[in-house]
């Protein structure tokens, strides 16, 4: 591991100063790139073009697969790649970066990025927990990242459920609920916010997200039974009614469900390990994230739009679009490194995403 982790903690005021320096330089880099390329001033048009083009490529890939012109592997990789653009658009839309004065088009885009990424939480509900994430990143009530396994020791459960927000959420519900209750009692979280999180948990995956997860589980169980019975030479045949359903379930899994689960696995692996958790000083942006940009992360980065390399920039300057972050990343990384933001801290995997070296209790 090339990264050397500082063992001493910088004081809060020093980290505040470093944060201001990073923020100023990133904003300057963004201003320069916009002046160099005037087309970047047309933010709404660019966002809608990326939205339309990505959806068009997803539909084209689906048609190609259904007509037998491309393989299942190619359709999975293609849909996973193009939906990574839609994820970044959703994130920008949550921060109101497109069509601020045209709520209709903004909501059309919000609906579109959800329909083509239907294994995710309702983006209108996600807005509340994402804004909360920025306020309390790395703490016990950061339900957005904790729901994606951030802060857990690496084990089989984390490995399996990292992309499954339904089953994984059920497994983590008790711990997150306990911490939210404790936060309300201590005054760290208002009762109103706690009730909002409960509402999101109950309704955030309706109407079709939960349904598609159940289809996925049915798909897995069906083929697991066929595999086991065949391996054990047991005579078994699915009822005709169930077999008939796979005429539409198989294409649905190939075109929509599995590509999104694969994309989410790549994204959640990166985001849950680039965010720190548990011993982060409240409000200290320097301690909230690191940059993951080594070559061996490329297979993951391809399907989450280079998230590990650029998302940390967003924590310092939240009102820049995802494509601007890509264009200013080299200058941003330079100042971030100079001011002590960590790069490729692989120790986070053994520390359960804690910022400092100390014994980590198993959740």
Taking only Cα atoms into account, the Rg of the chain, rounded to an integer number of angstroms, comes to: 22
The pLDDT of residue 360 is 56
> Is 60 exceeded by the pLDDT of residue 220?
yes
The pLDDT of residue 6 is 43
How far is CA 350 from each of CA 46, 135, 152, 232, 316, rounded to the nearest angstrom? 41, 26, 10, 39, 26
Task: Report, as an integer, the average pLDDT of 307-311.
Answer: 98
The pLDDT of residue 4 is 37
Encoded tokens for 279: 């011993």
Q: pLDDT tens, 176-215?
A: 999 999 999 999 899 999 999 999 988 999 988 999 999 9
The pLDDT of residue 5 is 42
Which of the 8 DSSP states describes residue 283?
T
The pLDDT of residue 361 is 52
The pLDDT of residue 202 is 87
How far is CA 347 from each of CA 38, 88, 148, 266, 350, rounded to the nearest angstrom? 42, 27, 19, 19, 6
Task: Report, as an integer, the average pLDDT of 81-101.
Answer: 98
The pLDDT of residue 357 is 84
Q: Which residues contact 201 (CB under 8 A, 6 or more apart)?
A: 169, 173
Residue 154 or 6, more confident = 154
The pLDDT of residue 2 is 45
Nearest to 293 by CA among 275, 270, 272: 270
> Is 70 exceeded by the pLDDT of residue 122?
yes
Q: What percent of the chain has pLDDT over 70?
A: 95
Q: How far apart are the first and last CA of the chain?
A: 26
Q: pLDDT tens, 266-297?
A: 999 999 999 999 999 989 999 999 999 999 99
Instruction: Please tell me the distance from the alpha carbon of residue 302 to that of residue 233, in angstroms, as a whole number.
Output: 41
The pLDDT of residue 301 is 98
> Is 60 exceeded by the pLDDT of residue 3?
no
The pLDDT of residue 8 is 39
Half-sphere exposure of 79 (CA within 13 A, CB side): 33
For residues 84 and 304, the answer to whether their CB atoms sit within 8 Å is: yes
What's the whole-number average pLDDT of the chain?
93
């Amino acid at each position: 591991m090339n990264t050397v982790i500082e063992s001493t903690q910088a004081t809060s005021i020093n980290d505040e100063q470093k944060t201001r320096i990073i923020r100023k330089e990133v904003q300057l880099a963004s201003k320069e790139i916009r002046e160099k390329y005037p087309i970047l001033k047309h933010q709404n048009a660019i966002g809608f073009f990326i939205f339309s083009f990505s959806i068009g490529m997803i539909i084209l890939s689906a048609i190609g697969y259904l007509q037998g012109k491309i393989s299942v592997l190619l359709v999975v990789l293609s849909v996973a790649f193009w939906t990574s653009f839609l994820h970044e658009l959703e994130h920008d839309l949550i921060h109101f970066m497109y069509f601020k004065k045209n709520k209709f088009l903004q909501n059309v885009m919000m609906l579109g990025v959800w329909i083509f990424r239907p294994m995710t939480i309702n983006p209108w509900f996600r807005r509340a927990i994402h804004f909360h994430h920025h306020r309390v990143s790395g703490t016990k009530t950061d339900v957005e990242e904790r729901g994606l396994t951030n802060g857990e020791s690496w084990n089989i459960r984390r490995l399996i459920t990292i992309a499954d927000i339904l089953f994984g959420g059920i497994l983590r519900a008790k711990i997150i609920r306990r911490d939210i209750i404790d936060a309300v009692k201590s005054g760290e979280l208002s009762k109103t916010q706690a009730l909002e999180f409960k509402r999101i948990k109950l309704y955030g995956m309706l109407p079709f997200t939960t349904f598609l997860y159940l289809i996925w589980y049915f798909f897995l169980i069906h083929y697991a039974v066929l595999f086991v019975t065949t391996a054990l030479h047991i005579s078994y045949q699915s009822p005709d009614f169930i077999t008939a359903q796979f005429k539409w379930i198989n294409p649905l899994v190939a075109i929509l469900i599995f590509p999104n689960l694969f994309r989410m696995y790549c994204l959640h692996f990166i985001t849950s390990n680039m965010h720190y958790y548990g011993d982060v000083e409240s409000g200290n942006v320097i301690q909230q994230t690191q940059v993951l940009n080594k070559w061996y992360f490329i297979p993951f980065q391809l399907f989450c739009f280079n998230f590990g390399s650029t998302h940390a920039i967003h924590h310092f300057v939240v009102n820049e679009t995802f494509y601007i972050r890509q264009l200013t990343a080299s200058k941003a990384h330079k100042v971030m490194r100079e001011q002590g933001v960590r790069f490729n801290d692989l120790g986070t995997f053994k520390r359960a995403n804690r910022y400092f070296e100390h014994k980590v209790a198993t959740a």
